Amino acid sequence: MLLYNTLTRKKEKFRTLSENNVLMYVCGITPYDTTHIGHAFLYMFFDVFSRYLNYKGLNVKYVQNVTDIDDDILKRAKEEKRDWKELGQFWTERFLKDYALLNMQLPTEYVKATDTIDVIVEMVGDLLKKGFAYESGNNIYFEVNRFKNYGKLSRLNERQMTLIAKERGGDPDDPKKRSPLDFLLWQRSKEGEPSWESPWGKGRPGWHIECSAMSYKHLGAQIDIHGGGYDLTFPHHESEIAQSESFTGKSPFVQYWLHASMVLCEGEKMSKSLGNMVFVSDLLKNYSADSIRWVLLSHHYRKPWQFETIELSPADEKLTELAESLKQPSRGDLKKVEEYLDNDMDTPSALEYLERETAGAVLRKGLMLLGFQMKNSH
C-alpha cells in the first residue's frame, strides 16, 4: 500500500514497525464548538482508513484525543460564563453523537489531555533536565535551537514559521522567550484558570506537549501513523516531533505523517467569524448519514475542496439506485477497489468503480468496507 507522507513529500510503501500492528494517533477536537463538515471530512477519512487497514488483516490501535484544556476553551468559557470543564464535556458529547450518527467507528482509545497531566509533567521535567527546555518568568519553554531539525516536517524557513506562529497563537513576541519560535510547555495559570501541581508551581500544559504525552502514554516512543488536519503541520506537529524525539531519544517519532486537507465553504476556510460554518447536525436533519459519507469520500483526503450542500441530493439519488443494484446478481470484484485504496486511499476512484462496475454481494461488501450502512436496502 502506498501512502503520501508529509515528512518526505512522497508516496511511500507502507511498512509497519511491528509486523501486523499499526499504531496510529490522530489529533482530536478542542471541544468548544459544534462539529462542522471540515471535522467530519478529517475523521471520516481516518475512519475509512482504519477500516481498510483492519480489512487487510492489520491490528490497528487508533488513539484519538480531546484537547480538553486549552486557551480557546478557557476563552470561550469566560465569554459564555460557563465552567470550562462543563463546556468541554458538553461539546465532546455533541461531537461523539455526530460521530456515531455518521457511522464512524470509535477509535480504540479516546483520551483526554486532562487525564494525562502526570505524563506531561514527567516529560517537561525530563526536557528541562536534558537541556531542551528552560524556565523563564514562571513558564517553561521548549528551546527550538537545541533541536537539530526543527522545520523538517513543514519545510518552512524561520521567517515563515514566525509569521505562522503569530497567526496560530504561538506568541513569537513574548519577551520571556530566548528565541521567537520557542514554545510553551508549561505555563503558570492566571487567576481563575484551572491549574495542576508541578515542580514549577501550579500551572497548566501548553498545547503541543499534550499530544506528545498522550501519544507516548498510549502508543509508546515510536508510532506508525500520525494524522490530523493540514493546518496542524506547523506549529503543532513540528513541535510534537521536537518534544517527543528529544524526550525519548528515538527518531523518527512518526513513520508516516498523514494530513487531510481543509474544506472550504463559500470560498473560505470555515470559521465562526465568517459565519460560513456547515454543521453536521444540521445536515443530518435533511440528509442521510450515507449521503454525507458519499459526498465526503468522493473527495480525496489530500485535495482541498469546496463544500456545497447541493452535492447531497444527487448522492441521495445515487444511493437509492445502488440499493436497487444490490438486488441484482453479483458483478465486478473488490480487487479494483483494493487497488484504488492501496494508492494513497483513493476513495473517489473506489466509489466511481463501485457505482459503475459492481452489483449484488460485491457491491454490498464494497460499500460496507467504506462504512456505508445501506439501511434502506433490505
- Piece of the chain touching Zn ion by CB under 5 A; list 22-30, 143-151, 198-206, 279-287: 22-30
By CB under 5 A, residue 69 contacts Zn ion: no
| Of residues 213 and 362, the one with the C-beta less far from Zn ion | 213
CB of 226 to Zn ion, least distance (A): 8
Mask of contacts with Zn ion, 322-341, x by CB under 5 A?
A: --------------------
Which residues have CB under 8 Å from 202's CB, separation 6+?
Answer: 188, 189, 195, 196
CB of 8 to Zn ion, least distance (A): 21
| Of residues 211 and 345, the one with the C-beta less far from Zn ion | 211
For the CA atoms of the chain, what is the radius of gyration?
22
Report which residue type is found at 249: G
Rounded Cα gap, residues 262 and 268, in angstroms:
10
Site size for Zn ion (CB under 5 A): 2
Rounded Cα gap, residues 87 and 90, in angstroms:
5
CB of 207 to Zn ion, least distance (A): 8
Nearest to 40 by CA among 371, 375, 318: 371
- Nearest 5°: phi and psi at 377? -105, 5
Mask of contacts with Zn ion, 156-195, x by CB under 5 A?
A: ----------------------------------------
| Of residues 27 and 225, the one with the C-beta less far from Zn ion | 27
- Piece of the chain touching Zn ion by CB under 5 A; list 23-31, 84-92, 250-258, 314-322: 23-31
By CB under 5 A, residue 211 contacts Zn ion: yes
Q: At 159, list the grid cell.
A: 521567517
Nearest to 33 by CA among 79, 101, 100, 102: 79
- Piece of the chain touching Zn ion by CB under 5 A; list 20-28, 39-47, 148-156, 362-370: 20-28
3-state helix, strand, coil in the chain (%, to 5): 45, 20, 35
Quote the distance between the C-alpha of residue 366 and its chain's center.
25
CB of 215 to Zn ion, least distance (A): 8
Give the residues across from 225 on adjacent strands.
Answer: 24, 256
Rounded Cα gap, residues 195 and 92, in angstroms:
21
By CB under 5 A, residue 351 contacts Zn ion: no
CB of 31 to Zn ion, least distance (A): 14
CB of 303 to Zn ion, least distance (A): 23
| Of residues 232 and 265, the one with the C-beta less far from Zn ion | 232
CA end-to-end span of the chain, whole Å?
34
CB of 27 to Zn ion, least distance (A): 3
| Of residues 50 and 288, the one with the C-beta less far from Zn ion | 50
Q: Work out the angle between the directed axes of helices 84-101 and 71-80 (0-180°, nearest 10).
A: 110
Give the residues across from 135 on adjacent strands.
Answer: 140
Which residues have CB under 8 Å from 340's CB, separation 6+?
Answer: 346, 347, 349, 350, 353
| Of residues 45 and 294, the one with the C-beta less far from Zn ion | 45
Please select the residue that binds Zn ion; options are 3, 23, 27, 165, rule is CB under 5 A.
27
CB of 236 to Zn ion, least distance (A): 6
Interface residues with Zn ion (CB under 5 A)? 27, 211
